[in-house]
Amino acid sequence: MYTDGMSFLEDEREAWRPYEALDALSDEQLSVAVDGAHGWRGRDLMGHMTAWQEVALAMARDLAVRETSASKAQADADWEARGGDALNDELLAAWSALPMDELRRRFRSVSGELRGYLTVVPETRWIKHPTHMEDFIGETLEHYEDHLADLRAILDAAG
């Protein structure tokens, strides 16, 4: 468990770094479905990862100004009511419809914006809050780890 925000932010930054290699791929390379990544394309992984970072970002924005996060409560309610597969399918469809320039812009900016917001959230609302901290770890560090094999498969397929 983390005792200070900077330690978490440093670990999150390092854990995210391998994913940045996706941005170096061409649009064509990002558009190829990869069997070793559940049939996802690189752009699908970019969208999936960024979409869940946006959930964490919305939570951080809420916690910067109040004790609780309506955004996280809504995301949890959606997850409970519809299930993760349905939500992820909806996210995949929405992100697949984005122009590549918009996908890349959001992919490049959201992780840094999340880290920036977390620097202004009082630590009592995230680092020292047991459920909020678990949520941030789940949407970042654990999620990044969960998809490393997908990332490797996509990068390997791109050559």
Domain CATH for 26:
1.20.120
- Rounded to two decimals, the pTM is 0.95
44-98 pLDDT per residue, tens: 999 999 999 999 999 999 999 999 999 999 999 999 999 989 999 999 999 999 9
127-145 b/e (C-beta count within 10 Å ≥ 16 → b):
bebeebbebbbebbbebbe
CB 56 within 8 A of CB 136: yes
2-55 pLDDT per residue, tens: 999 999 999 999 999 999 999 999 999 999 999 999 999 999 999 999 999 999
Q: Domain of 133?
A: 5-158
For the chain, the C-alpha Rg in angstroms (whole number) is 16
DSSP 8-state code for residue 72: H
Q: Could you give the number of structural domains in the chain?
A: 1
- Residues 6 or more apart from 136 whose CB is under 8 A from it? 8, 56, 59, 60, 118, 126
